[in-house]
Structure formats: C-alpha cells, structure tokens
Structure 1
Amino acid sequence: MEDARQTGGRRMTTLRVVVDSVLTPDSPALARYTADLTRALIATAPDGCDVAGIVAASTAAEIASVEERIPGLADLYRTTLPRREVMAAWQLGLGSSPGGGMIHSPSLFAPFRKHDRASGDQVVVTVHDLLAWTRTDLLPATVVAWQRASLKRARKHADAFVVPTHALAEQLDDLAGVGSRIRVIPSAPRDGLAVTDDGDERRARLGLRSDYVAVTGPVDVVRTALDAAELRGVAIVALDAPQRTADEAGDETSGATDPGPLDAADHAAVLAGARAFIAADRDDLSGTALIEAFALEVPVLHADTAALLEVAGEAGAAFADADSLAALLSAVVDDAEFTERLRVAGADRARAFSWRETAWRVWQLHADL
C-alpha cells in the first residue's frame, strides 16, 4: 500500500530513504552521497510529498546527528536491531521491517522482501562500483561477501537500480542481468565545495607544498609520468586514498602526501591549489571526483576508461599510460592556452551536474514505478 501520512490535515506521500550510512565511518564517500542526496530530495519534494529517513537502532546522540546533518526529515524510523544484525536480516527478508511504501537506498543496504508494486510498495537501490567482483583484493572478505549476497537479493526484489554512469550500467547488466531495471542518475559535487579566502592557510595547515598535483587512484603511474616529464619538483597529493595507495601516500620518501579525510572547504582548497587534478583510478565507475574538479575549474587529466570518458565529456584530457600522462603534464606546465582551455571546458561541464537535478530524477524514477 502507498506510504502516506497525515500532516496538518493533509495526506502526504512519503519517500523513505535509508540514511544509516551517515552514521558509519567506514565509507565517507557514501555518507556524503547519502546526506547530499537526501537533503536535495527534501528540497525538491513535489507538492504533497515529503521525505523520511530509515536508520538501524541508534542512540539519541546518533539520531540528533542525523537530524542535524539532514534537516527537514518528516520522520526517522529506527529498526529494533543494530546495524550488523539488520544487514543480515534484510538480506534474508527478515525482521525489523520499516513497512511498505516508497523506499530508496543510496546503497545495497535495503529491506529486501516480496512486495506488490501495484499497491505502491517499491524498493530502489544504488550501485556505485563493482569492486566486490572486479577487485576483491581491495576489500575485506566480509564486505565482498555482503555486497555479493545483497546484489543477489536485490536482483530478485529491487524494483530499480540507480547507477551514476552508463559504463557502470553496462557492467552491472553483464553481471546481474538487470538492464531493464537500471536507471543512470549522475552524482554531483559534495555540498559546501567552494573556494574560500583562506585557501592558502588551509593548504599550509595540511602541510602541502606550493607546487603539486592532486590525484585519485594509484600514485605510481603519476610519479613515473612526473619523472618522465622532468617535473620531479612537483609533489603528489593523494586524495581519498584507497588502501592500495595508502602506504605509498604516507611514505615521505615517495613524494606523495595523504592529507586524510577532508571537510568540503579543505577539499576545495587542496583541489584549487593543484596544478592539475589527475584521476588515475581505473576502477572508478562514478566519476564524482572529476565533477568536483571541474566545478572548481581545475585542469583535469584522467584515465581513458569508459566511465571517466563519459563523465568528462571531452572537458578533460585522457591518458592511456604513464607516457601519455607525461605529455599532458608537460602541456599543463608549458602551454597556458591548453591549461586555460581545460579550465573553461571543465567549468562548463560542471554545470551538467547538480544535486537538485539528481534529486528530481530520483523523484521521477519513483513516480514512474
């Protein structure tokens, strides 16, 4: 049955979002995505609709934290079980059910069960990557097992799968055969990502050198390219460093710096101060990091993968290996016109991505279902 509530004597249709990830420290990127998307859903709610949240059993302080980070929730449903137990129960369609109606999950963490979409019940999940299938060496075995089991359950019970790129949609369909249920809805820059007047002070506090490139993904190809371009004085700052590069990024002798988790203002300061942003992660299927660099008018050099080419839309410069990256880095240093062209193209490309547009498309998806 349709999830509806009475508010001030008015019948409201409620979209309930699984916002539990904002309370877990293991995935800052997912926490940001969840908070940014949910705030945008609240801001764009159609007339007669509102947004509620779903979390696992939580303390009063945790509930207050969610409500502070996502103001405007019509309600916040708490399961009776803690998160670990809920994760197992929902995989099996058991216990701690938040009921029917429209449910949207920014991940694969969702209450999977048999339901009747004709009565207004629907469950939509989100897939951001396929590392649990393609790069199991990067994830704990428990995470791999949970994601695989969750996708298997979602394949049976989810009404739609949201993915950020067509490249990921194709790979997900090849893996799970759910092409008819996939909807491509891009991400957007994190809320609060803007250059501030104290950028120099922020970079100094983070211990950054004056001349550097900002990097996501493996730094070894970037280091090789800098050496080949005879740019050994240019430092490497590893942003959102995954486990495979954490040791490299923390090694002072490597020429790379890992500033660790950053708030939006610090992240913007690091990007804005970079000579260029280099997306070297060939496992990145969302391209959010590119979008953020574009938004700050930072020249973007990116790996020539299908996902990054799709997100860049020719606003960045693609490289296949260290040699081609070296040539691009030389151009960024020596060719002011090339660099300015990347800045202008990136700023223009960034206008294609906003949380308001993303949220509107999520509302439209649930309406279509």
Structure 2
Amino acid sequence: MAALRVIADDILDPGAGERSVLAEQWLRALIAVKPRGMRVTAFVSASPEGDYDRLRDLLPGLDGILKSALARRELQAAWAHGFTPLPGEGFVHALSPLAPLRRHDRDVNPELQTVVTVHRATAWTDPDLFDGRTLRRELQLVKRAVKYADAIVTPTHTVAALVAEQFDVGDRVRVIGAGAGMAGTPTTPGDDRSAGAVVAVAGDSRADGLDALLEAFGSPVLADRRLVVVRTSADRALPHEAEAALGERLLVVDAGDAAQLHALVRGAAVVAAPHLSDGPGLAVLSGFAAGVPVVHSDEPSLHEIAADSGVEVTRGDGYADRLADAIATTLDDADERARLSVMGEDRAKAFTWRDAAEKIWQLHADL
C-alpha cells in the first residue's frame, strides 16, 4: 500500500508558533481525504512517550508514527547538513521548510518525491523581526528546501511571488492556502475566557505585530476593553511594560492545540491580526470561519486572504493609533459587526480544508 510520510514535528514543537496549529490541521485534513489505497504516517523527532500519545489523540485515523532516533535540535541540524535518512516508505510531504532533502533524480527513483511548505518570506523581506538564531535557521532551511524539493507549497500568491523573486524555483511553486476553521471535526464551542474580548494570535516572532497591538490597547479609545493573546510559541515573550500597563485587561493563553485556539477565537468580539509581514493568515481565517469580525493590517498576504471582508489598517507611522481606532469603532458598532460577520463567513467558504487537502494529494499525483 502506498504511503504519504508527513513531517509533523511542528505539532510537538512548543516553539513552532502558528506552524504547530496549521500542521495539526493539515494532517487531519490529509487523513480525511486520503485516496483509496493510501496510508498517511507522521514523522517526528525523538520525543517523550506522552507526546506520541498526544499525537495519536489529535489525529484519529493516522496510519502510524515514524520516530526519529534524534531529538528535535539534532534532527534539524542533521537535515540542514544533508544527512537525510528517513524510516518507512512513500512520498514525503513537509508542512514547513524542514525536510530530509538531497539531490535526486525522480526519473531514476520516482519514489523519492518531496514537497515542502514555505509559509512566509519574512526571513529575507523583514529580517529584523527575528532574533539572530531563528533568522539563521529559517534562511538555511528555506534555501535548502527550494534547492532540492520537487515542489514548494505556499499559502498565498504573495508569498509565492516573494519566493520566486529570491530563488530560482522555476514552475515548482504551488499556491495552496490553508482551510478556515477546524479541519475534520465538529464546530468548536466558544471559550468563556474570550467572551466580549479582542483576540489576537501571537506567533514565533515580532512579525505578528503584537507589539503594535499592545501599544494600541494603551489608547483611551480602548481603555475599558480586554485583550486575549493566544500564544502559539512558548518562545514568544510579551513586553513586561505592556503586561504591567494592561493588568487584568490582558489575558495570555498558551494554545495547546487547534481546538483551543479556535474556541478562543469563537468566543471573541473581534479578532485582531496586526501582522507586520507575510504569513499563512491563521488568525484571519479563524475569525472568518467563526463569524467574528476581523481587523487586520494591510500586509499583502492578509489583504489577499481577506479580500475586503475585514477591516484593513495601514501600517507605518501611527499604526498603533489607527489600529486602536479601527478596533474601537468595530466594537462600538453592532451593525458593522453584523455586516463583517456575514462577509467573513462568506469569505471563509473559499478556504475549505477538504479542498486544500485534495489539492495536496493532486500535487503528489501530478509529480
């Protein structure tokens, strides 16, 4: 029986940021629509037994877990330097740039087929938004991925164009966006902790625009409003000054999985996506799927995803003030919230997990 081996280590990586939530969703969707006669297995670095159990619980229908003998950091270093043995058989699909890659000829070895995902181009468009170690790692992984991968998946045409500008990728790039909402499960109920609040999703770097959002919440127009930050990376620290200034108006929640993130989004009054650089648009898509009004930056990837279904705020000088005004206006206008809710839900229909997963399977079939 043929198999698709999915590199799923981001799901278990506490520092992976939005990639962790997206990887879980992608795997669930790929399992749900796998063609007859295909198996889906997940490859992860050496982890505690409890992590393997968690992976099985998150992904019912998974046909097996392939376990590396190397821990996460050692595995990343090995793959970055071309040491690429991978257990099991079948095509390889990486949900990030991290993949076992080397030069190969698919005409000679058609089973050696690897597809990678590049979620963002921030490492070369806005390198100052990363710390030094994260920047070096990301640049190294993307450079190797685009050199050796048989195909490169990006979430938006914006990211695809940025990749093509930077690297010689030919016709190997496919734009396949993530789905909106939860993949393969019933609707997640709202979380009371975010009821009536503004919800933002913090990633693994300052590209998430969280600093500007925290500054916005210091504005008088948001003086009595609550902010819930859903943190997807354990490494993402908030400025202590902002935490102290907001006090009980700020709640930081570490997202354990996709269900928790979407429950917090569903309970919100407004979703804020103040991103400074490109990415997969997780917060925007989550808000649209839940029927929650979305206020987002004019970052081109978010503009592409939202397509005028949210409230767009121009970045640059005075960004925090404009962000505060846009959020306050949306919160105070019930008719506008109702209109945005309908528009967002309608836009979400363009991003289904079934359609996204079927495109991935078709991509591997085309290769």
Normalised to the residue count of structure 1, the TM-score between the two structures is 0.83
Cα distance between partner residues in 2 of 1:249 and 1:297? 33
Shift of 1:224: 6.0
Identity among equivalent positions (%) equals 35
Per-residue CA distance 1:174-233 (angstroms, 9 max, x = gap): 222325211111112344684537x43xx1xxxx6x753223443554466567673422
TM alignment of 1:1-369, pairs within 5 A = 12-94=1-83, 96-98=85-87, 101-118=90-107, 119-120=109-110, 121-188=112-179, 189-191=181-183, 194=187, 196=189, 199-200=191-192, 203=193, 211-216=196-201, 217-219=208-210, 221-222=212-213, 230-240=221-231, 246-247=238-239, 251-254=243-246, 257-263=250-256, 264=258, 266-320=260-314, 321-322=319-320, 324-369=322-367
Cα distance between partner residues in 2 of 1:153 and 1:61? 32
Shift of 1:241: 7.4
Deviates more, 1:259-268 or 1:47-56: 259-268
The answer to whether the 8 A contact 1:241-1:258 is kept is no
Shift of 1:249: 8.1
The answer to whether the 8 A contact 1:194-1:265 is kept is no
Residue 239 of structure 1 aligns to a residue whose secondary structure is strand
CA RMSD of aligned residues (A): 2.9
Question: Partner amino acid for 1:196?
Answer: P
Residue 260 of structure 1 aligns to a residue whose secondary structure is strand
The answer to whether the 8 A contact 1:32-1:190 is kept is no
Cα distance between partner residues in 2 of 1:333 and 1:67? 40
Shift of 1:334: 4.5
Shift of 1:164: 0.8
Question: Partner amino acid for 1:19?
Answer: A
Deviates more, 1:316-325 or 1:349-358: 316-325
Shift of 1:135: 4.2
Cα distance between partner residues in 2 of 1:91 and 1:48? 33
Aligned residue pairs, count: 350
Residue segments in structure 1 that go unaligned for 5+ positions in a row: 1-11
Shift of 1:142: 3.1
- The structure-2 alpha-carbon separation of the partners of 1:222 and 1:101, relative to structure 1 and needing over 3 Å to count, comes to closer
Question: Partner amino acid for 2:305?
Answer: V
The answer to whether the 8 A contact 1:81-1:96 is kept is no
Shift of 1:15: 1.1
Cα distance between partner residues in 1 of 2:134 and 2:269? 36
2:204 aligned partner: none
- The structure-2 alpha-carbon separation of the partners of 1:141 and 1:223, relative to structure 1 and needing over 3 Å to count, comes to closer
Q: Which has the larger radius of gyration?
A: 1
The answer to whether the 8 A contact 1:186-1:353 is kept is yes
Residue segments in structure 2 that go unaligned for 5+ positions in a row: 202-207
| Greater length-normalized contact order (CA 8 Å, ≥ 6 residues apart) | 2
